[in-house]
Amino acid sequence: MATSLSGTDVVIVGLGAVGGVAALPLARAGLDVIGIEAGSWLTARDFPPDELRNNVRGWPQAVQKANTEIPTHRRNASAPYSPRPSVHPMMNGVGGTSVHYWAQSWRLNPWDFKVVSETRRRYGAHRIPHGSTVEDWPFGLEELEPYYELVEREVGVSGQAGNIDGAIDARGNIFEGPRKRGYPMPPLRGSEFTDMMAGAARRLGWHAFPGPAAINSQTYDQRAACFYHGYCARGGCPIDAKNSTAVSTIPKAQATGRLKITTQAAVTRVEVDERTGRVTGVTYIRGGQEYFQPAEVVLLASYTYENVRLLLLSKSRAFPSGLSNNRGQVGRHYLSHFQGMSVSALFPFNVNAWYGLPAQGAAVDNWADDNFDHSGVDFIGGGNLWIYSDRRPIQAANMNTFGKAPNWGSAWKSFVRENADRWNTAYIQKTTLPYEDNFLDLDPVVKDPLGFPVIRITADYKENELKIGAFVQDRMEQWYREAGAIAIDRGPAGIMGPSTHAYGGTRMGDNRETNVVNRFGFSHEVPNLGVLGASVMGTSGAHNPTLTAQALAWRTADHLARNWSSIANG
Ligand SMILES: Cc1cc2nc3c(=O)[nH]c(=O)nc-3n(C[C@H](O)[C@H](O)[C@H](O)COP(=O)(O)OP(=O)(O)OC[C@H]3O[C@@H](n4cnc5c(N)ncnc54)[C@H](O)[C@@H]3O)c2cc1C
Ligand code: SF4
């Protein structure tokens, strides 16, 4: 029997990158918020620069809930299961995965909001890939722009603007949509390697620029500037220069006195009043005990897989197929960013990439989104080319031998000794679309230690994604060769398994027949249930998701605060 606690205005399930942002506008609006977080607080002592600990053995957090519920994967409904990874990509802790993410903080491109209408307008309806369920977002970039700016300022983002109110600045991304103001901090500095690559891009006539990062390039909000020592690609920052929500928006929300945080508490169910069909609160397990936390409004912010899982697990007479799933849309329109088909290069000289961090790099967006004319190609979308400075010893020794040496023995050792600082792998994020046969559901067999089914991913990259992959691999090879590379290795597509960039499953849109939440992130079927995170996004664009998911979370929270009585009281 669950212990029933005193009620609150809003419960946020998960205080990660997006829940940790939404708490701030709600608390500032005077609402009482309880954040129920599966993980614990982490401190600088949890963040040693230890590659073995962080990158090889998993993460330093005390609570490893995510690792007990790693989704299963199969390529299609009749395919066998793919091998299941031993480590879940995401973090349990206050601040969630923003504690140890790379912190690249991109806005989406205007095209990403209007893929269907812009493709039809420019190339014809027949260019929408067969079987894709892609829809235009219910609004354009201009609607999200003020929220992007709020998050950039409250979290703290470094970068160089490329388009302020239509005035193009070639030091930044000339393809970005108009913004009202520049970034609150200048960009992270380049390195010898990123400067060399930016020069090569310019010689090709391409536009290279420093990417935006939620990392302090100077003292910001009384937190130190980054000192570029690295080891934070899957590690936290010991000096709080990386702006996770644990050091930015969450403490600001706590300072209002309106946010209370319950840590090491795993929500297992969202409860419903069968009579009204409204949510009444959540049940969670903490220290082996079950509690019921009543709330006027529940916001799910537990990352795409857990958002979908909690909805599907919360069955009731009013919602026999899972909460907010009477139209069968929960789990559909799933996609994960296509990051396979990598490109690595070998240089005949040292590139000095021993220091630095993955968010410190040079980007080329000439081949992203619809930034180039697609009339002569047979796909839509594209890829962001990103090269960066970050090399750790174990990673270096794992280098590709580019067919020039065996993978063992003394010939391998001498090749690695000579070339460990002469190679680089680009990070290329490509447009990925939703398709009717890519979806999430509950695994019929595999369960977590509490006995609840884990998420099953049924998904594969389709022709459009594979064509983008081949196209941008050509462009990346061209870029590396221009910079002096003497050998190139192209990686395979890989499988669409558990991902750090998982989208959809609770898609946002005006049409309640094809979307779970409305344009403000509230359920079409349950008016006092909101969903935060990339699970509401119907397109990925060619850039990392977090800043967009955070801007959407702020917008949902803002909408809730402005419309409190109609949402909370029905
Ligand atoms: C190594 C790495 C690098 C990345 N780099 C970037 C990058 O450079 N740029 C970028 O944009 N994105 C990046 N990402 C992705 C980014 O981390 C995610 O987009 C972002 O964290 C998602 O935010 P979220 O709040 O939805 O999930 P999270 O930040 O993971 O937060 C979810 C929270 O919910 C909690 N939770 C889960 N289940 C429950 C439950 N049942 N009850 C209570 N609490 C629960 C978790 O403990 C967690 O704290 C990276 C990810 C990884 C792993
Ligand atoms: S490189 Fe910068 S952000 Fe990363 S841990 Fe060091 S100081 Fe922090």
Find out whether the beta carbon of 228 lies less than 6 Å from any atom of ligand 2.
yes
Secondary structure tally for the chain: helices H, strands E: 13, 22
Q: Could you give the CA distance from residue 241 to residue 224 in angstroms, rounded to a whole number?
A: 5
For residues 288-310, give the mean pLDDT: 98
Examine the pLDDT at 60 and tell me if it is beyond 60: no
> What is the pLDDT at residue 44?
86
506 vs 518: CA distance, rounded Å? 10
When pLDDT is cut at 50, 70 and 90, the band that residue 59 belongs to is low
- The pLDDT value recorded for residue 191 is 93
Query: Rounded to whole angstroms, how far apart are CA atoms 555 and 533?
Result: 12
Mean pLDDT across the stretch 3-13? 98
Q: Nearest CA to 243 among 262, 224, 228?
A: 224
What's the 246 CA to ligand 1 centre distance in angstroms?
A: 12
Average pLDDT over residues 252-257: 98
* Amino acid found at 136: D
**Could you give the CA distance from residue 428 to residue 338 in angstroms, rounded to a whole number?**
8
In the block, tokens 């354009």 appear at: 140
Q: What is the dihedral of CA 403, 409, 411, 413, to 10 degrees?
A: 100
The pLDDT of 55-66, averaged and rounded, is 74
Q: Whose CA is nearest to atom 4 of ligand 1?
A: 101
Nearest ligand to the C-alpha of residue 356? 2
Residue 544: pLDDT above 70? yes
pLDDT interval class at 390 (50, 70, 90):
confident
- Residue whose C-alpha is closest to residue 106's, from 26, 212, 5: 212
Rounded Cα–Cα distance for residues 516 and 405 (Å): 52
In the predicted structure, residue 38 carries a pLDDT above the cut 90: yes
Ligand 2 centroid to Cα of residue 49, in Å, is: 9
Distance CA 398, CA 386 (A): 21
Lowest mean pLDDT among 169-178, 199-208, 231-240, 366-375: 231-240
**Which position has the higher pLDDT, 242 or 53?**
242
Q: Calculate helix-pair angle for 19-28, 546-562, nearest 10 degrees.
A: 30
| H helices present in 29-103, as ranges | 51
Torsion sign over Cα 12, 16, 22, 24 = positive
Percent of the chain with pLDDT over 90: 90
Which pLDDT belongs to residue 266? 97
Give every CB contact of residue 519 below 8 A, 6+ residues apart in sequence.
Answer: 138, 139, 508, 509, 510
Q: Write down the mean pLDDT value for the chain.
A: 96
| Token pair in block for residue 374 | 């697609």
Question: How far is ligand 1, taken at its centre, from the CA of residue 15, in Å?
Answer: 9
E-strand ranges in 420-477 read 423-425, 427-430, 439-447, 453-458
* pLDDT value, residue 62: 65
CA 488 / ligand 1 centre spacing (Å): 33
* SS3 per-residue string spanning 288-309: CEEEEEEEEEEEECCCHHHHHH
d(C-alpha 246, C-alpha 96), whole Å: 8
Confidence of residue 353 (pLDDT cuts 50, 70, 90): confident
Nearest to 545 by CA among 336, 241, 243, 244: 336
Q: Helices 141-151 and 546-562, interaxial angle, to 10°?
A: 100
pLDDT digits (tens, 9 = 90+) for 73-83: 999 999 999 99
Residue 444 neighbours by CB under 8 Å, 6+ apart: 453, 456
Three-state SS string over 130-174 comes to CCECCCCCCCCHHHHHHHHHHHHHHHHCECCCCEECCEECCCCCC
- Closest to 268 measured CA to CA, from 228, 302, 241: 302
Going by alpha carbons, the residue nearest to atom 2 of ligand 2 is 226
- Ligand 2: nearest atom to the Cα of 236: 5
Average pLDDT over residues 468-480: 98
Selected residue with higher pLDDT from 469 and 397: 469
Q: Can you tell me the distance from the alpha carbon of 320 to that of 453, in angstroms, rounded to the nearest whole number?
A: 16
Instruction: Give, in order, the Cα–Cα distances in Å from 486 to each of 42, 331, 429, 479.
Output: 44, 45, 24, 12
Our mutation pick for probing the ligand 1 site, out of 284, 500, 506, counting the most ligand atoms within 8 A of Cβ, is: 500
| Residue 211: predicted pLDDT | 96
Distance CA(476)–CA(469), nearest Å, equals 10
> pLDDT value at position 355?
82
Mean pLDDT for the stretch of residues 279-290: 97
* Alpha helix segments (H runs only) across 266-397: 304-313, 393-397
The pLDDT assigned to 114 comes to: 98
Least confident interval from 391-400, 402-411, 543-552: 391-400
pLDDT interval class at 246 (50, 70, 90): very high
Residue 218 predicted with pLDDT over 90: yes
Closest C-alpha to ligand 1, atom 31: 16
**Ligand 2: does its nearest atom lie under 6 Å from the Cβ of 214?**
no
* 241 C-beta closer than 6 A to ligand 2: yes
- Residue to probe by mutation, ligand 2, list 218, 239, 243, most atoms within 8 Å of CB: 239
> What's the angle, vertex CA 342, arms to CA 337 and CA 343, rounded to 5?
150
Give the mean model confidence (pLDDT) for residues 467-494: 97
**CA distance readout (Å), 356 to 191, 472, 492:** 8, 25, 27
**Which tokens sit at 163?**
């388009």
- Give every CB contact of residue 564 below 8 A, 6+ residues apart in sequence: 9, 29, 31
pLDDT at 457: 98
pTM for this predicted structure: 0.98
Phi-psi region of 460 (alpha: psi -120 to 50; beta: other; left: phi over 0): beta
- The 10 Å Cβ neighbour count of residue 57 is 12
The b-or-e profile of 345-372 (16+ CB within 10 A means b, else e) is: bbbeeebebbebbbbbbbbbbbbbbbbb
- On the 0-12 / 13-18 / 19+ scale of CB atoms within 10 A, 519 is middle
Provide mean pLDDT across the span 290-294. Answer: 98
* Pocket of ligand 1, beta carbon within 6 A: 13-19, 36-39, 89-93, 96-98, 100-104, 234, 266-267, 301-303, 306, 359, 500-501, 533-534, 544-546, 549
User: Strands, DSSP E only, in 301-380?
Assistant: 335-336, 343-346, 361-364
pLDDT of the residue at 217: 98
CB-facing half-sphere around the CA of 25: CA atoms within 13 A: 23
Q: Is any atom of ligand 2 closer than 6 Å to the C-beta of 234? A: no
CB atoms inside a 10 Å sphere around CB 403: 8
Phi, psi angle pair for 24, to nearest 5°: -70, -55
Classified as helix, coil or strand, 255 is: helix
Question: pLDDT band for position 54 (50/70/90)?
Answer: confident
Q: How many residues does the chain have?
A: 570
Per the structure block, which two tokens stand in for 390? 């970050």
Phi, psi of 486 (to 5 degrees): -110, -10
pLDDT at residue 190, as a whole number: 94
